[in-house]
Amino acid sequence: MKLGYNFLTGSGKAAQNAGKHGSRNAPQTLCDLLPCPAMDYLWTPWRYNYVTNTDKASGCVFCEVLQEPDDEKARIVYRGTHCFIILNTFPYTSGHVMVVPYAHLDELQKLPPDVAQEMMALSQRMEGVLRELYRPDGVNLGMNIGKAAGAGVAGHIHMHVLPRWVADANFVSVVGETRILPETLDVTWRRMKEAFGGSRVGMPTPDA
C-alpha cells in the first residue's frame, strides 16, 4: 500500500483521536502527521531554482527560442505548422518534452481550433515516441494554465508530455535535492529527432 501524508492542524479531541491513526512517533501537538493511502506526493526540490527565477526573466522563453535557427542548440525536437516540440531544460524524467503553440496565448480556450487540434495530435504522437524509446510504465500529459496553477511560463501555454516509471521519485531526489537522469539532454534530443525523422515542417516568422 502506498502512503502519503496529510497535515492536520488543530487541537482538542478531534486532533488527538486523529493522531492515534498515525505513526507511533507522530507528534501529538497542533500538527499531527497522518498516513493517507489515497494520496501520492511527488517532491521536486531540484526545480526550485527554476521556479523561483521564472518571473525575473524578461520576455517569453518560448517566443525567444523560436528565433534560434539551430534546433539542437534550442533543443527543439520538431516544428509543426502551428506548434513545436521542445525538450524541458529542467526535466522531471528523461524524455520530458513540451508541445507549444507558436502563438503567444495564455489560455487554452484562446487557441484557434486548428492550433488546438495540432497540439493534441502532436501530444498523441509524442506519447507513441516516448513509449517506443523509453518503455515507461506510464505517461504524464497535461498543462498548468496560470501562475496559480503552477505554470512556470504563465503567459504562453504548453502541454507537458513525460514518461514515468514506478518509484521514479526516490530518496535521492527528495532528500539529496539531486535528480538522477540516465541520459543528457543532447542524447535525448538526438534520439527524439531521429524518432521524428528529422522533420522540420514549419518555420514561423519572427512576429508569429
Residue 49 to residue 35: CA distance in whole angstroms: 30
Residue 165 to residue 181: CA distance in whole angstroms: 12
Quickly list H helices, the chain: 13-19, 48-53, 61-65, 71-74, 113-134, 171-176, 185-195
Residue 23 to residue 32: CA distance in whole angstroms: 10
- Residue 158 designated active-site: yes
Give burial (CB, 10 Å; 0-12/13-18/19+) of 103.
Answer: middle
Among 82, 96, 156, 158, the active-site one is 158
SS3 category, 187:
helix
Cα distances from 176 to residues 45, 90, 170, 196, in angstroms, run 9, 17, 10, 35
Residue 72 to residue 194: CA distance in whole angstroms: 12
Residue 5, C-alpha cell as written in the block: 501524508
Per the CB < 8 A criterion, the answer to whether 97 and 85 are in contact is: yes
Beta strand extents in the chain (DSSP E only): 4-9, 31-36, 76-79, 83-87, 97-101, 138-142, 159-164
The catalytic residue positions are 158
